[in-house]
A and B are shown apart, each in its own frame.
Chain A
Amino acid sequence: MLMPSMIWAQSLQFESPIRPEAWAVLALVPLGILLLYFLKLRRRAVQVPSTLLWRKSLEDLQVNSPFQRLRRNLLLLLQLLAVGLVMLALLGPKTQGLGRQGKRLVLAIDESASMAATDVEPSRIEQALRKARTVIEEMKAEDLAMIIAFSNSARVVTNYTQDRDLLLDRLRSIKPTDHSTSLREALQLVAGLANPQKYLEPGEGAVAAAFVPPKLFIFTDGGFADVEGFSLGTIEPEVIPIGPPIEWSPQQGLPVAAANLGAESTQEPASGPASTVFSGPASDNLALLSLSTAREENRPDQLQVFGRVRNHRGEPVSSRVILYRHDPAMPGEPGNLIDAVALEIPARSDQAFQFELKADAPSGEFFVRLEEPDAMPLDNQAFVVATVPRRTRVLVVSSGNRFLTDTLTTPSSVQIAELTSIRPEQLDLPEQQRALQDGSYDLVIFEGVSPKVQPESSCLYLGALPPDLPADQGREVASPVIIDWDLSHPILQYVRDLGTVAVQKGFILEPPAGARQLIESDQGVLGYARSRGSYLDVVLGFTLLDGQKFNTNWPLKSGFPLFVYNCLKVLGNALDAGSSDRDLFSTDQPVTLRIETPADQIEVLGPDGRLVETCRRTSQGTFIVSQARKTGIYRARWGTGTDESTGFAVNLFNERESNLAPRGQVPPGLTDSQADAFRIKIGSTPVQSMRVDAPVTREWWWYLALAALGIVLFEWWVYNRRLSA
């Protein structure tokens, strides 16, 4: 059994902030003091008739106080002691041991786009940081604090630390982002980091990890839905609302609807019912909430740019929306002004706007700016990129199937697809082989015939097997009865009548590993889908025609054209290629780019023209850009030519974020239940926490330095007393 003092001594560690050279200099200080003392001891010699009386007087004084002998050297001793203590303090002693556990503080700071609002001086984020700073400055020495910044995602700015300077320094690094707010993300992070469910059981030789329920300070201006069904565990949350004081009168009613307005679906227009319900206090902001382009059905070369503006102010606003064409060669510049529309936006409601572009502008990058200045400039601008539509190129390899070709040439199919038909014997022609291998087609349909090599495209095999599978895999059966099919797969979306489809001859397939069953008959699998690199292959175990006769009645059913259309969309990527505003992304999500390029790597340039990220092609054939976190027009580049890059627009478009009305502030004079409507609610289930004494690192230098100061003061007192006593 160790004595407690031994345990203390064993846990004593030293961590000196100064280097050995400095120590060498420091060690001279006591020597210097001793030297000075001995110099001082060279007393002046005085001859006296007799030291008799002096001796008696001295003896008398020494008898009076037992410390007289000490007192002669008291000042020296005190000086040495003070210096010793300072040196000891500089050694940085610390002990690990049981003791008082400091508080745990978690500071969660909202860095969403709305925090950039300037409706408080100087800005909301500054206000939040100032308040956080006061919390840090009030920390005690044993307290630990962690800083988390959150927008649509949360990140740890610092882990638990006692170092206030570090905390304050890291605090300065927090800047508002272009993202929306998700308190849930922050809470999940806090719960994961600060609320460990498991901790070590105290065992032999191990010190029990401590658990102290942390106190969570959330510095936020709202802009998120109430977090329901979330357990904070033992965390004690406290919301510190940021933003201007709310102006509210009882006549306005309670903001019940506002609390959940646009909580999950931010794209939903807040027109209609929202105007009849009090949607929270007004705020000084006008926001562009959507922007997109479209082409007219009958005039595909005519481009429309349309969008929506929301007025969060309590009064109507007249303003203009200005459209610029952005020049890809001049990143960071707004571009050339093309058009402007005047808008009258009623108080607290939406107003749509539309620009008709001339026929000479089928594509381009556009920038829209709202002229009215307000507290949040970020949502006064929006970006959109319109591209030239490109139809899916489909190759049908068949001995002539009228039903298939007819279905692929319906008007709706023609809009998105461009059909080429060849006969199976043409498949071996070199130019066809080349075309199949260089990605000239988006989708190849093989009916009753298999290629020798897999083409570089997605494939649909009807009554045929992919060339990489053994040819004897299919087991021919007669009249299989379809009993089940996977409606949730996009290829069979809306195809509900397969149950009525009869098949004369079919092959029962054995789906390879990783394939997904699509159609199942009473005798086995009739169809499956499988991924092949970035392509998707669908294999069906029956042909449509058997020679000139029907092999199945499916082409006569309404589900067949739907299936073909699904194939064009899913296998041929028709939807992506045809949509004019496909490159419209949010700052909250990583950007997924589907670019037609053989290159495996692209460079993404930010709105200011600087390189943001280099992305590699994923196994799905896409490029995922995770660093497009600012709004603006980005460029993905895979070469130096003008046609070797493409633009995409990243916008915020978050109604909740643009609504600057502060939340979490309760106006005075409300009952508790009324005030609930203004509070930020975090669903929580209190969990009884286990409180144990925890090992704490105690820094002792502080006490030593204090003792040294006390000794210096005592020495001063002794010195003065000697002079005056």
Chain B
Amino acid sequence: MPSAPSKSQLLDPEFLAKLEQLELMSRRIFVGRMKGERKSKRKGTSVEFADHRNYTAGDDLRHLDWNVFGRLDKLFLKLFLEEEDLHVSILLDTSLSMDFGDPTKLQYGKQVAAALAYVGLVNHDRVRIDALGSGLSEGLSGLRGRSQMWRVVQYLDGLQATGGSDLAAAAKSFAIRHTGKGVVILISDFLDKNGYESALRYLLARQLDIYVIHVLSQEETNPELQGDLRLVDVEDGQVTEISISPALLKRYKEHLDQFVGGLRDWCTRRGIVSIFTTNRNPFDKLILDYLRQRGLVR
């Protein structure tokens, strides 16, 4: 059930030790894959030649191809493929529904977000963290280098579960503001009554590499409810009266499976990597084994 996220939980030595471990692991993983390894489609300032074009006034004279000028007596400019930084955007769902479970899904999501941010930072990627609620709330952006990690932790610690979830609105606003390309990691429980499809479509439209981490709590995957209950939706206050019966529980689990499997299938079909986890799954294990398997971390 909801529990207030505490600073210590994110910064406890155990967590930090795990992050250290992750750093070592990630170093090994990212050997030879430092900056410039990732080719950009943009033409830029890398060493790899791409094309020539006519010189126009104002171009950097350093890029003139003097050899061509010698032979043809014309000014051509050498174009190179630009090597760009990897933009890693982490979108963490902070709606009220995330504030459930022990640890809460939000807490779990923070740990995962912190870990992924850490991996990104040590790899000198540009890391951006935003919180998703009923809309997008801008978080940190343009982080690079492990020295920025304290900011990440500070920011994540400061996040509180609030408001309903409107994934579509949040994704739309992210897509509008974030024009660059890169990797988007969406951490959410996807319990949005309006569905998750339109939200993912907004992201897909940006041609982003999308990773979805679907977090549910143990209480949701295996509810231990009994008797006649009035269920109150924590986000919109909607009331549903149920009488727990084996038949209902069976149906619930079937729907849960459909929900989780539906998300996974939907994503797979569109080239989105989807990972399902519960809050009881250790986040480092998720990061190291699971993400590697899924290609999020190489």
Contact = CB atoms under 8 A, between A and B. Distances in A.
Interface of A: 40-41, 43-58, 60-61, 72, 722-725
B47 interface: no
Given A57-B251, A57-B255, A722-B245, A43 B229 contact: yes
Given A56-B255, A58-B240, A58-B242, A46 B231 contact: yes
Contacts of A50: 97, 189, 191, 193, 233-235
Nearest to A61: B251
Most chain B CB inside 10 Å of its own CB: which residue of A46, A53, A56:
A53
A51 B230 contact: no
Secondary structure class of chain B's binding surface, majority of residues:
mixed
Contacts of B68: none
Interface stretch (B49-57, B113-121, B220-228): B220-228
Nearest to A72: B243
A48 B234 contact: yes
Contacts of B150: none
B240 A54 contact: yes
Interface of B: 1, 96-100, 105, 189, 191, 193, 217, 220, 225, 227-235, 238-243, 245-248, 251-252, 254-256, 259
A44 B239 CA distance: 12
Given A53-B252, A54-B242, A722-B245, A46 B230 contact: yes
Contacts of A47: 1, 231-232, 234
A439 to B, nearest CB: 102
Contacts of B220: 49, 53
A67 B287 CA distance: 48
Given A49-B100, A50-B97, A43 B241 contact: yes
Given A58-B240, A61-B248, A53 B259 contact: yes
Contacts of A60: 251, 254-255
15 contacts: A45-B230, A46-B225, A46-B231, A46-B232, A49-B100, A49-B189, A49-B220, A50-B233, A51-B233, A53-B259, A54-B242, A57-B251, A58-B240, A58-B242, A58-B251
- A-B interface, 5 closest residue pairs, ranked by CB to CB distance from nearest: A49-B97, A50-B191, A57-B251, A43-B230, A51-B240
A725 B97 CA distance: 31
A656 B51 CA distance: 148
A44 B247 CA distance: 20
Contacts of B1: 47
A49 B259 CA distance: 15
Contact of A48 (B233, B241, B247, B254): B233
Nearest to A48: B231
A58 B244 CA distance: 10
Contacts of B105: 49
A385 to B, nearest CB: 91
A54 B252 contact: yes
Nearest to A71: B243
A51 B238 contact: yes
Contacts of A43: 227-230, 241
Contacts of B252: 53-54, 57
A725 B246 contact: yes
B72 to A, nearest CB: 68
Contacts of B256: 53
Nearest to A53: B255
A381 B231 CA distance: 94
Contacts of B240: 51, 54-55, 58
Contact of A724 (B229, B230, B246): B246
Contact of A49 (B217, B227, B228, B251): B217
A58 B1 CA distance: 23
A49 B230 contact: no
Contacts of A48: 100, 231-234
A52 B238 CA distance: 10
Nearest to A44: B229
Contacts of A53: 191, 220, 252, 255-256, 259
Most chain B CB inside 10 Å of its own CB: which residue of A50, A51, A722:
A50
A392 B232 CA distance: 119
B231 A51 contact: yes
A59 to B, nearest CB: 9
Contacts of A52: 191, 193, 233, 259
A396 B163 CA distance: 142
A42 to B, nearest CB: 9
Contact of B234 (A40, A49, A58, A725): A49
Most chain B CB inside 10 Å of its own CB: which residue of A43, A44, A49, A55:
A49
Contacts of B239: 51
B22 to A, nearest CB: 29
Contacts of A57: 248, 251-252, 254-255
A12 to B, nearest CB: 40
A76 to B, nearest CB: 13
A53 B192 CA distance: 10
Nearest to B100: A49
B275 to A, nearest CB: 19
A105 to B, nearest CB: 55
A54 B191 contact: no
Given A44-B229, A53-B220, A61-B248, 14 more contacts: A40-B228, A41-B228, A43-B230, A46-B231, A47-B231, A48-B231, A48-B232, A49-B99, A49-B189, A50-B97, A50-B191, A52-B191, A55-B240, A57-B248
Nearest to B195: A52
A49 B96 CA distance: 7
Contact of B230 (A40, A44, A61, A722): A44
A30 to B, nearest CB: 22
B247 A61 contact: yes
B241 to A, nearest CB: 6
A407 B284 CA distance: 156
A723 B243 CA distance: 10
A48 B105 CA distance: 13
A51 B99 CA distance: 15
A45 B255 contact: no
Nearest to A40: B228
Nearest to A43: B230
Contacts of B251: 57-58, 60-61
B252 to A, nearest CB: 4
